[in-house]
Amino acid sequence: MDNIEYIQVDKDILDFLKAVFFGSIECPIAAASHRAYRDLNRTIRFGEMPQEQRDGLRSKVTSHFKQEIPAMVEHGVHSQESYDEWHCQLCNEIRLLYRNSGVEFHIGQAQKWVNMTMKYLYICGAYSFKGIFQYLHIPIDNYVFTVAEKELHIPQPKVRWSRWDSYDTQYLAYQKELRLRICGLSPLRWEFKFWLQEARQVIQNDLP
């Protein structure tokens, strides 16, 4: 389905780039989760919660990933529906963990954490997600909203992605619309290409 262009890269250079981006990758799931957290933590309203407690919540999510992701890969998922069910449960568990600690946390934030963790695990080479990659979700953010409107003619939602709180009617409905309109590529492969295209355009526009 995906037409992938492979290139040869100096291993020392690749290891250096991984270290710069992820830090230590002795535990790839922890490295991917912590990097993904940086992509959404600005949207979390912690109030007066001490940093130690914030770090504890993050560590609990990472520990959960360490259990759930290898188990999902080992047992496999055989359809988009089964992956969606696994993903929904994981997002709801993260949301509940934070809300039970008094933090306003939304499905939109949970999906970003899960989806970016999966994306980073693939990027760093920890998992190939063979037989699963085509089911992986696109991490939803403002860049995706913009490029999906440009390339796929999907109107931008009125509610910010970080404040989505319905898995089915907001988040999954948008993912399904993306799947319907993306042709010839796995959803995450499409995101690799067009998210980067949009990011480059934003950077170019910001140049003096």
Task: Using DSSP, state whether 193 is helix, strand or coil.
Answer: helix
pLDDT (0 to 100) of residue 98: 98
Q: Which of 51, 56, 89 is nearest to 72 (CA)?
A: 89
pLDDT of 129-175, one tens digit each?
Answer: 999 999 999 999 999 999 999 999 999 999 999 999 999 999 999 99
CA atoms of 192 and 182, how far apart (whole Å): 13
pLDDT band of residue 208 (cuts 50, 70, 90) is low
pLDDT (0 to 100) of residue 9: 72
Q: Which of 47, 53, 36 is nearest to 109 (CA)?
A: 36
> In the predicted model, what is the mean pLDDT of residues 34-45?
95
pLDDT (0 to 100) of residue 195: 78
Measured in whole angstroms, how far is the alpha carbon of residue 6 from the centre of its chain?
Answer: 23
CA atoms of 66 and 59, how far apart (whole Å): 10
The DSSP secondary structure of 48-80, one letter per residue, reads T--HHHHHHHHHHHHHHHHHHHHHHHHH---SH
CB atoms within 10 A of CB 99: 12
Q: Which of 14, 32, 1 is nearest to 122 (CA)?
A: 32
> In the predicted model, what is the mean pLDDT of residues 121-127?
91
Provide the terminal-to-terminal Cα distance of the chain, rounded to the nearest Å: 40
Q: Domain map of the chain by residue range?
A: 11-206
> In the predicted model, what is the mean pLDDT of residues 83-108?
98
Query: Is 90 exceeded by the pLDDT of residue 32?
Result: yes
